[in-house]
Each structure stands twice: as structure tokens, then as C-alpha cells.
Amino acid sequence: MVTSLRHVQAALVVLSVAASVAGCLGINNLKAPGTADASNDASTSDAADGSTPDMGDASVPDATAHGDATTDDAKIGADGSGLACVPGATCAPADCQTGLITCSGDGGQCVKTANLADGTPCGSGGTSVCHAGSCGTCAGDGGCSCPPSASTSCSGTCTDTQTDSKNCGACGHDCTALSHVSGPATCSGGVCNVPPTSCAPGWMHCPGNATAGCETDISSPASCGGCTTVCPATAPKCAGSASTYSCVTGCSGSTPTQCNGSCVDTTSNSTYCGSCTTACSGGMTCQSSACKCPGALHSCSGSCVANDTNACGPSCTNCSTGAPANTTPSCNGASCSYPCSAGSMQCASGCVNTSSDPSNCGACNHSCGGAGCSGGLCLPSVYAAAGAGAPGAGTESINGLTTDGTTVYWTYTRGPGGASQLMGVVGGGTNLYNSTGNSYGAVTAVGGTLYWIGAGRMGTFELSMPTAGGTPAGGKLSPITAIADDGAEYYLTNGTNILSCSNGTTTCSTFVASATGNIVPAGAFLYWTEPSAIMRCAAGITCGGASTVSGASTPTGLAVDSTNVYWLDGGGLHQAPIGGGSPTTLVADANGVGPAGNDGAFVYWAGQNTVYRAHVGTAGAQATPIANSQFGVTNIIVDAANIYWNVSTTAIMRLPK
């Protein structure tokens, strides 16, 4: 039977396709249309009328024509299921019936699985293989082997455990079933990879255990919000939600800080001040998160004490330690100060008690010259005792007393009188001259010469000699009651007149007639007292004309400085200008011996067994006692530094000004 050309072409296509997949197909006999199947179906001959040819295998039906050569499909399979691929075309798994006909991976041809070798991949996904004529799982019983791309059989399914998230690293290790995994997971290199977003809320995967899943509870204080975050004692609780957690104190309001299980306010809690590890001590309290002393107290060596002289200022100095003498330590809160105590005065050497300090007696730098100080006044000391500088023994009388500003001179008489009586002149404690049978009285010293009055059986006389000592010279001038020297002349009174004598001679002349009393040369004038006045006249051999300085009432003493004259009378201590003027009473009711010369600030005198001083130039000045219990004072003199007077007849006293 002649086969149509169309049928022949279709048969040739089938043969061609079969040959191309010979490595995968197990077909024993393929024959061209119209050819008898010698081995399988001898009784069946090819159709000569163009009907479906016998393919030699009842399981493989003959092709049935379906349209033209480019679109005809061929039925494969005894049950008529499945479509043969058009020659030259490819197939997809959905085009073939799984289990009986599959889309071969070799050329994309639909083939009968019964004709595939065991282990040949089949089906979709690359995980099924042919086994015993069926496309399915590989039992792993030696009847088949898994392909290299899915080399491990897990429960009969070939898979790649390096990438299979359900069998990651080993069969049954399902990454999505790990602890607290709630989302997708992947497998890489046989290790599960769980992204943070796949962890259940409150859980996290931390390094170190790849197979643990989301194993870390991030709501726990041991891993609060992260793998390594451990809540400290100050914030021991972990709070939050989902994946956001943080350490909190668990405290709020006025006590927001957690310390050792207690909620406290570290700004004011003295047990937990500023932090949970700081406790205030030594009486301190917590103020603004810092330990401080309360009130006016301050910290010294860790204890709160008063900021006073016992612990003064930041250095906590004890002000009394090493405090200067005569001070009252004080603390101003920052440092010590040392004001002078009551009764003391600030002097160059420090605070001194001017009432008792012999170096600053009554005033700074007022030295008592070795004597004591009491009540702000120097105590007098014995400058020379009776008999000092004089030979022999016996009762001594100090008669005359003077100074040239450097040395103190005095005259004395010792003995019972008569021819055996001793008399002498002493300068600075050295006996300058002595003789017998006479007595010496008033003395003056000026210009390196001593003048004094002597008295003997023949009357009174004036004597002179150098202040350094020697043989006296002089003459008899009777009577002589007073003597003074101004450096050019010396003056004497004889009870009637004032005489003027040239120094170094005994030649004298009347200076002023009918004048007696105290005589004091001062500057260019000689001053003297009269019963009712203080007088003066220009110094020289004769007086060119006397003038009245001031009226006075029976003056008994006289002193002169560069400004005033001073005198005592029954009405007190007075002063008047040296050029003349009305008198001023300095001290009422003052009387006694003197006044002595002054230092421009004070005038001195002795009376009522006391030595006094008063400020000059001030009416109604206060008479200040400067030495008490001074009996029998007959002379008082003053130099630049001291006051001298004799006590009875036994000693010469000295008192620094």
C-alpha cells in the first residue's frame, strides 16, 4: 500500500527525534511508517492506506496526523496521553504527564519515563529521577543515585544540603523551624542564615551558634536590646517592646535612680549622692549631687567644722598656732588675721602692749633704756647710786645736777662737815675732782667746761675746769646762789645782781642790777625770774635793756625752749611766748621743783614725791605722773632722751622720755 508522502515525512521526523535522544530513550525498535515490526509485532504490518503505522511497541502508538508538518502533534503513550514535541521544538514540564511522560532534560523532548535509565533526572525542579520506569524520588537504596546538583537524598528526595533551607547542612535541619524563627530563612554553605526581621519579637540571633536560631531573649537584663548589653545596677530592668528594648531603673518621679534595689534621688540622698557609689560622711549632706557641709560649716580633713579661728578658710588653719604676740586671732572666712589685742598697738615690730613693753612703753619705739614699763610709763632706774665715782664712805649729799646733752654731771658732799668733809664733781659716774673742807653746789656744763659753786669757811666761790677733768680754777665771789652758761659767758647771781663773766676767766661784771632768782640762758637771751615777772635780756657781758616776757606770781622754777618759757608758782604750771605775751596756765595747782627743759612736746617737773609731765601749748592739759614715790627731789634735768633727778641725797634716777 502506497503511503502518502505526508505520512512518510512524519515517520522520518519521529525517527530523527528518537535518534537524537538515544542516550536517554530506552526504545528498542523504531521503524518507519509502513514497515513491519519484525521483533515485536510480526503479525502487524504497516498501514498501506495511510493509517497510523505500527511503531513496533504497543506502548508507543503510531503518530496521528494533525495538520501540516509545522503544527502536527504526535501522540505518545499507549493511553494516548501526552503530546510529542514538534520536531525542533522544546517542551516544558507542564506539557508532559508527570509519572508516565516527562520532559527530558536532554533536548527538552517529551519521552516515556519507562524508557529512561534509572537515575536520569526527570520532572520539574531538578530533584526527581527516573527509577524503575517511574519519575519520582530516589529511595537511596542503590537502585538510583542523586545528581551532582542535588547530591543528597533526604526522605527519597534529592537535594543540595548547602542551600536547602529545609535540609541545611543535614537532612531535616529546617532553618525556618529553629528556635523563635517566625519568618523566612536561607541556607548558605550548609549554615542557616536568619535575618533579624525573621526573629520573633523579643528575640535575636547572636554570633557563636549558627544553629541556635533566634536564641537570645533581648527583653532580659542579661541581653537587653542586644547580644552584649547587660543592664547595670543603676538601671537593672529591661523594658520595651518588639525589637526595641533598653535598660531602665524602674524608678520614676522624685526618686528616679535605682541604687542597690532602692529608688532614690541622687541630688539630695546622702547615702547615694551623685551616684550609687558615693556616700556622704563627716557630717556632710548631699546638695545638688555633691557632698557638702551644711550651713556655715566647711570641710576640714573630711569633717564639717565651723569656719572660725580653729579651722579658718580653705586651708583649715588654726589661727592661734603661731599667732604673733599681743594679737587677737580672727578669721574672716578665708584667712586668718591678727589685729592687735586691746591695750596693744601696732608698731614696726608687731603688736606690742604699750602699757608694759619696755621697748615701746606708752608709744611705739619708746624705749625705757633697760628699765621696766608699767601703765605705759617707763619705770625709773638708778642712774648713779650715792658715792658713785667718789672715794671714801659716809653720808653723801647730791647737791648740783646738770647735763651737756651727752654726759650727766653732779656735785656731792660727803662727811660730817668741817675740814675733813669731802666734796667732788662727777661726770658720767667718774669722779673728776674732789677736795676736803668745802661743799659743792649748783653746777653747769657747756662748751667743754664745767662751772660750779663751792662753799667754804671763807665764803662762796666759782670753780671751773674742763669736762674731761683737771685742776679747777676760780675765784672768790661771795655770795653766789645760781650759775648758768651759754657757751660764751657764764652767769652768776649773788643775791642782788646777775653777773656776767667771760668763759675761762674770773672777771665778772654786773649784767642786770637788782635781779635775782633762777637764770636760764637760751639762744641769744638770758631769762630770769623776779618776784612778779619773767624777764629777759640779750646775752652778753652787759644787758642793754631788760624786757618783761610775762607777769608771774612768785615763780619758783624756769625752763625755756625755742617757743615758750615755762614756770611754776602757787597757781600751777604756766607758759608764755619767749618774745612776750599773756601767760597760759597749762596745769592748775602744779607746784614743786622745776620745770625742767622740755623736748617740744612735754614739760617736766617734780612735786609731791612724783615726777610729772604735761603737753606743752595746751591750756588745761592733764598732768601725767611718770614716776611715783620719788622722795626729796631737789634737781630735775632733761636731755634729748632722758629725764634725770636726784632722790633725796642718795641716788640719781633716770627715766627715758
State the Cα–Cα distance between residues 586 and 614, nearest whole angstrom: 8
Tell the residue number behind the cell numbers 541604687, with chain if given: 259
Question: Residue 597: what are its φ and ψ, rounded to 5°?
Answer: -55, 155
Per residue in 184-218, pLDDT (tens digit) is 999 999 999 888 889 999 999 888 777 788 999 99
Q: Is 330 exposed, middle or buried (0-12, 13-18, 19+ CB in 10 A)?
A: middle
Whole-number mean pLDDT of the chain? Answer: 76
| pLDDT at 410 (0 to 100) | 84
What is the reported pLDDT for 97?
46
Q: Is the dihedral of CA 586, 592, 598, 603 positive or negative?
A: negative
The pLDDT of residue 46 is 37
Give the residue carrying C-alpha cell 563627716: 282
The backbone region for 38, taken as left when phi is positive above 0, alpha when psi lies in -120 to 50, beta otherwise, is alpha
- DSSP line for 550-596: EE-SS--EEEE-SSEEEEEETTEEEEEETT----EEEEET--SEEEE
Model pLDDT, residue 74: 36
Q: Which residues pair with 204 in a beta bridge?
A: 216
Respond yes or no on whether the N-terminal peptide bond of residue 479 is cis (omega within 30° of 0): yes
DSSP H or E segment with residue 8: helix 5-20
Pick from 162, 102, 157: nearest CA to 133: 102
Low-confidence residues of the chain, pLDDT below 70? 1-145, 386-396, 415-424, 437, 456-459, 476-478, 597-598, 649
Task: Determine how many CB atoms are found less than 10 A away from the CB of residue 313.
Answer: 16
Helix (H, G, I), strand (E, B) or coil at 256: coil
454, 461, 448: which is closest to 425 by C-alpha?
454
Q: Rounded to an integer, what is the distance from CA 583 to the centroid of its chain?
A: 69
Q: How do residues 470-525 score in pLDDT, each as one tens digit?
A: 888 877 666 777 788 877 888 888 878 899 988 777 778 899 988 878 899 988 99
Q: Kindly compute the dihedral angle of the four CA atoms of residues 26, 32, 37, 40, in this order, to the nearest 10 degrees.
A: 20
